[in-house]
Structure 1
Amino acid sequence: MRPLKVFATVVLFSLLSACSGLGGDKEVVAPDVPEQQLYDDALSALQADNYSLAIEKLQLLEARYPFGRYSEQAQLELIYAYFRNYEPESARAAADRFIRLHPNHDNVDYAYYLKGLTAFEEDRSFFEKYLPIDVSQRDPGAALDSFESFSTLLNRYPQSEYAPDAQKRMQYLKNRLATHEIHVAAYYMKREAWVAAANRGRYVVENLQETPAVPDALAIMAEAYTELGMHDLANNAREVLTLNYPDYRVRPFKKERATLTQAATFGLLGGEEPAEPARPIPLADRQRAEARERAAADEQQEERSLFSRMTFGVFDDEEQDEDSTR
């Protein structure tokens, strides 16, 4: 009986050793890579636009050398790599983490800028960059986040090298948010929610001044207050609108009751549609228009100079006299 137990024990250990030998893949431990090499590899990947590899190297650098001399810079580079790799959630999380861990860092303004830029680009889809789509009717959540980040950057670091660009983007976002408010107010006007519409218009006038949506906001306020019987407030809104925007064409924002002609033609004839909010001119369009105007002026000046050289300046005095009379 005893030899049988010994034999069974030997067979059991043999089977166990065989199973362990034929088991799953062993975990391969990568050799230690120097911090300098990891950082150089990450920079090379960034320069080659290989952002996935850069993210991998930067994450490895931060994990193995959390207190190394490149750890803080690696965290900044990681925000940029996430941003360029179209990972907005990871980019914002990395920016928030850097701001929380290093609030007094010399380059913390860069983290705020990238955070705002990530939300700014997230608010603009691929089609909106190349097609005339009105983004003001969409949810402004990303635009609000971007505006808040840029505002924090300007308030805390007004001398930052990223402040001028942030200020330009804030103006675009301000116009976008104001127009969105007007779209919502126009919707309330069509539903005869006068109080809600007036509050939206007042918010634009009080908080989003110097935007193309202000005259629409004043017109909505005047119309909504009239419907509510608040004639003093309505008259004040009309006076401000007339004084500051004399060329503004006032149209009703509320949905008019159907006339007999409208009812007979199912709304195709016999009435005027409610006013649509004005669409702000994007910053890029304004810059292109200004560039075309400058190019045209330079071309005209070049033609005058060429004509002057060909005529030996004989007609220069006459041209100057004509310009002065104009």
Structure 2
Amino acid sequence: MRSISVFGFTPAVLLCGLVMLTGCAGIDNEQDPTSGWTAQRLYDAARESADNRDFEQAIDYYKKLESRYPFGPLAQQAQIDLIHAHYRNEEPSVAIAAAEHFIKLHPRHPNVDYAYYMRGMAYFSGESSFVEKIYPLDKTERDMSSALDAFRSFEELIQRFPGSRYAADARQRMVYLKNTLAAREAHIARYYLRRGAWLAAANRARYVVENYQGTPAMPDVLGVMVEAYRQLELDDLSEDALRVLTLNYPERATSYR
């Protein structure tokens, strides 16, 4: 008796194919022990992994929870915790993206201030590269874009949520970042001064005076302004800078008289 073909395949071939597919599904289930886990079990496993500092495993659990139960009550909490897990796993760029994703999706979430804070923390941690951890460098001699982004992120947190539990820590970090950014600008101003680029030196120093009042870099940049304006024969501006320097930092002003 001849076999009847279906779309060119005999029943025997189709049966083998079904067996293979069933076998593959069985293999997949065996490879993923979380298959069938509830949202709560996935979340508890993720938190346990994070507590044990196994952040890669925690990230995997959080992502599975979010994928399988996107509208469940734990999905949003998993998204928040995922930000922290990426941050602790030394993935600042991924943590930043996760924070911005959460802010965009849930702008009125009661814990959205935490997403703003962690975005700033991720930028803050990103300003120290792997190479710098091994070979410490002068922070004023490298790119400061991450520090500036961190400062702006913390600033936005404080502006939007002045009463946030994270605001106090953000303010302290902003002081450090402000001092670092000012020192960087002062370093550049002094570089221009050494190269004889008087106008560039004066402009860079003036930027510090206008934007980073009260930082330790102030006496340096005022001195740069005194010298640069003298070289440009802008005596009135040079005297103004010297007067401010003398008033606020008299011990530093003596070398410019």
Within the alignment, does 1:32 sit opposite 2:30 as a pair?
no
Equivalent residues of 1:55, 1:78 under 8 A apart: yes
Equivalent residues of 1:61, 1:74 under 8 A apart: yes
1:216 match: 220
Structure 1, gaps ≥5 residues long? 1-5, 253-326
More off after superposition, 64-73 vs 130-139: 130-139
1:207 match: 211
Structure (1 or 2) with the larger CA radius of gyration:
1
Letter aligned with residue 26 of structure 1: C
Correspondences of 1:129-140 after superposition (within 5 Å): 133-140=137-144
Report the CA distance between 1:124 and its aligned residue: 2.0
Q: Given the alignment, which residue of 180, 185, 204 partners 2:184?
A: 180
Letter aligned with residue 177 of structure 2: L
Within the alignment, does 1:69 sit opposite 2:73 as a pair?
yes
CA RMSD of aligned residues (A): 2.7
More off after superposition, 175-184 vs 12-21: 12-21
> Within 1, Cα distance between the matches of 2:57 and 2:255?
57
Report the CA distance between 1:248 and its aligned residue: 1.2
Equivalenced residues, count:
246
1:160 match: 164
> Within 1, Cα distance between the matches of 2:254 and 2:75?
59
2:89 match: 85
> CA-to-partner distance for each residue in 1:172-224, whole Å, 9 max, x for gaps?
10010001001111121122222211111011001101101011111111111
> Within 1, Cα distance between the matches of 2:225 and 2:112?
42
> Within 2, Cα distance between the matches of 1:144 and 1:206?
16
Report the CA distance between 1:33 and its aligned residue: 1.8
Within the alignment, does 1:149 sit opposite 2:127 as a pair?
no
Report the CA distance between 1:233 and its aligned residue: 0.7
| TM-score, length basis structure 1 | 0.69
Percent identical pairs in the alignment equals 48
2:107 match: 103
> Within 2, Cα distance between the matches of 1:79 and 1:198?
42
2:242 match: 238
Q: Taking structure 1 as reference, are residues 71 and 22 closer, same or farther at Cα in structure 2, changes over 3 Å only? A: closer
Q: Given the alignment, which residue of 118, 122, 137 partners 1:114?
A: 118
Q: Taking structure 1 as reference, are residues 130 and 214 closer, same or farther at Cα in structure 2, changes over 3 Å only? A: farther
Q: Given the alignment, which residue of 60, 72, 77 partners 1:56?
A: 60
Letter aligned with residue 176 of structure 1: T
> CA-to-partner distance for each residue in 1:111-145, whole Å, 9 max, x for gaps?
11111111111112457568763211110011011
Letter aligned with residue 76 of structure 2: E
Equivalent residues of 2:56, 2:89 under 8 A apart: yes
2:174 match: 170
